Amino acid sequence: MTEFTKRPDGLIVPAGINRRGFLAGTAALGIAAGLGSSLVGGEARAQEPKRGGHLKLGLDGGATTDSLDPASYSGSVSFVIGHLWGDTLVESHPETGAPLPSIASSWESSADASVWTFRIRKDIAFHDGRKLAVADVIATLKRHSDEGSKSGALGLMRSVKAIEENAGDLVLTLTEGNADLPLLLTDYHLIIQPDGGVDNPASPVGTGPYKLASYEAGIRATFEKNTADWRSDRGYVDSVEIIVMNDTTARIAALSSGQVHFINGVEPKTVPLLKRAPRVEILQTSGKGFYSFLMHCDTSPFDNNDLRLALKYAIDRQAILDRVLGGFGTLGNDYPVNENYALAPEGIEQRAYDPDKAAFHYKKSGHDRPILLRTSDAAFPGAVDASVLFQESARKAGIEIEVRREPEDGYWTNVWNVQPFCASYWGGRPTQDSRYSTSYLSSAEWNDTRFKREDFDKLLLQARSELDEAKRKALYHTMALMVRDEGGLILPVFNDYVNAASASLKGFVHDIGNDLSNGYVGSRVWFDS
């Protein structure tokens, strides 16, 4: 059983191992030490956190249809709300993405990674005073495993065959080995609730650092400090207020005038404006999300790999990075994994804009008609501009792309995963396995490029249960090449997360897991005065 302990310097390490030994012994696994804001160096630890104050967050991504049931969480506002009032079994390291203890203090697996045992903390109470028990964890996971739950975590839980208690520990038995299981349990839908939330799934009673005080869906949510919180390195402010601000201009005005202390979803074109505001800081975080164009590999003319290659060589990635993202990102290489993922492929040549190669493959494909690309800024900020840049760069290779702007309303229902060539966006996933399983496994519901290969599926399942890190990395390298050279994904750029805050706000943790400090922004920051 992997036990963790907290050193006097705030470092989280396996019990009985010093820092040097821990880092040396876990380097191959991509595991680094720490938990919460106490693990991060640099600016976040430049001064000791101060307590007190009322934090106001102006956030995009809320709707009047939002629910407090974690199973239904999807937008940014719900993402942050859940992390304020609730906890998951496992968290992830903000710099490496490695699994770290939360409600589960430690875990171990069988040799084939098909049976996992988690030790549950015994010193945690829910907001209503009830002691957390293994039974609550079991009920929570079973609720999200129910085919009728419509939980956002249902796909992750389908591989769990049995959820049981054994001698006070949680035991999960899988249908097949999965070396990434602890990271899958970081999913923000899997917030542990009393009795699993079965009787009242929308009741925000959890074990998190804050208690919900008031809630108006799509408008506002307020929180008060949980004075009985089981951690010492979270919840520095006395209260948190989330104000839903879906309009970019409204968010910028609110931060610039001091009405809020933090905003998300800062568009690159607005960064110069924000930089002119006094005492405003831009927070740029590298992540795993990407802007893309998707081709259905089973639909003409995109069922021709030469045409797919022609389009991949015909896009000017650097122009999109510079002119659409304003430099807030990194170049993509037509597979959905970057260096922020553990065991990321290395040594794969960066695909560059090459009109000559594009023209070669285009001629070889035999296609000679305009290609319809559907787009909308609903796909990603600047998607229409990116599509026009794509059209211009492809024209130099003799490829005519017809850009059709679709309505933002209904784009994700009527265009994405429906039409054979369109603009799209994907957020990051905890692991390479979950990234590929979500949209590249032949049976995946969201296989939005229609990339269906039995040989790829076999590699994915093999890598999932492979505990040897070197062998697993080699498998992922092969998979990346298959998607890059034969798939329907055109991935020009990985986008950075761009937020902004008042200069008085300190401690923001740049977390590669996801935007908004992986949802923990409300409990990680503090005021310097």
Do the beta carbons of residue 323 and residue 329 sit within 8 Å? no
Strand ranges inside 315-450, DSSP E:
329-331, 371-375, 401-405, 421-426
**pLDDT, the chain, mean:** 90
Do the beta carbons of residue 97 and residue 342 sit within 8 Å? yes
Give the Cβ contact number of residue 359 at 10 Å: 18
Residue 238, pLDDT above cutoff 50: yes
Give the Cβ contact number of residue 280 at 10 Å: 18
For residue 335, report the phi and psi dihedrals to the nearest 5 degrees. Answer: -135, 150
Return all residues near 21 (Cβ < 8 A) that are at least 6 apart.
none
Do the beta carbons of residue 204 and residue 212 sit within 8 Å? yes
Mean pLDDT computed over 378-383: 89
Q: 300 exposed, middle or buried (CB, 10 Å; 0-12, 13-18, 19+)?
A: exposed
Amino acid symbol at 136:
D
pLDDT interval class at 176 (50, 70, 90)? very high
Please write the tens of the pLDDT for every residue from 255-300: 999 999 999 999 888 999 899 988 999 999 999 999 999 999 999 9
Residue 109, pLDDT above cutoff 70: yes
Please write the tens of the pLDDT for every residue from 42-81: 444 457 999 999 999 999 999 899 999 999 998 899 999 9
Supply the pTM of this predicted model. Answer: 0.83
Do the beta carbons of residue 193 and residue 86 sit within 8 Å? yes
Please write the tens of the pLDDT for every residue from 131-141: 999 999 999 99
Nearest alpha carbon to residue 81 among 196, 281, 258, 241: 241
Please write the tens of the pLDDT for every residue from 185-227: 999 999 999 999 999 999 999 999 999 999 999 999 999 999 9
Alpha helices in 86-222 (DSSP H): 134-145, 154-157, 181-184
SS3 182: helix
Do the beta carbons of residue 186 and residue 86 sit within 8 Å? no
Give CA–CA dist 282/124, Å, rounded. Answer: 36
